[in-house]
Amino acid sequence: QVQLVESGGGWVQPGGSLRLSCAASGFTFKDYWMYWVRRVPGQGLDWVAGINGDGDSTSYIDSVKGRFTISRENAKNTLYLQMNSLKSEATAVYHCAKDVVPGVGPTFEQDYWGEGTQVTVSS
């Protein structure tokens, strides 16, 4: 079965950095676009970044461009999100997620999510 397990969250001061990781299993990782999405309490899931199966095409929401970097290591079935120059509005639970279909995309639709890792940006 598909499993996605995030790690690396925590508390950081504004301007700081964090690196999130997501260990994937139960599917052919390299075949899928993967995403980072986040949930602020009381709100829905917001898409943050996506990356294709080969790792050579990425996409970001405007608010994180130039500060966040999504990457992947297919040999380790692992997805990453490097977050720099963090702002308080980045506070959320971050989930990794897989695209609904392999090989094409991105559809920007997800069918599996991990339980998430909390990121808190506060002074």
Residues in the chain: 123
Per-residue pLDDT of the chain in tens (123 residues, 90 and over written 9): 999 999 999 999 999 999 999 999 999 999 999 999 999 988 889 999 999 999 999 999 999 999 999 999 999 999 999 999 999 999 999 999 999 999 877 888 899 999 999 999 999
Contacts for 61-67: CB closer than 8 Å, 24+ residues apart: 63/89, 64/90
What count of other Cβ atoms lies within 10 Å of the Cβ of residue 23?
Answer: 16
**Matching residue, tokens 């390299």:** 30
b (16+ CB within 10 A) / e for 40-69: eeeeebebbbbbbbeeeeebbeeebeeebb
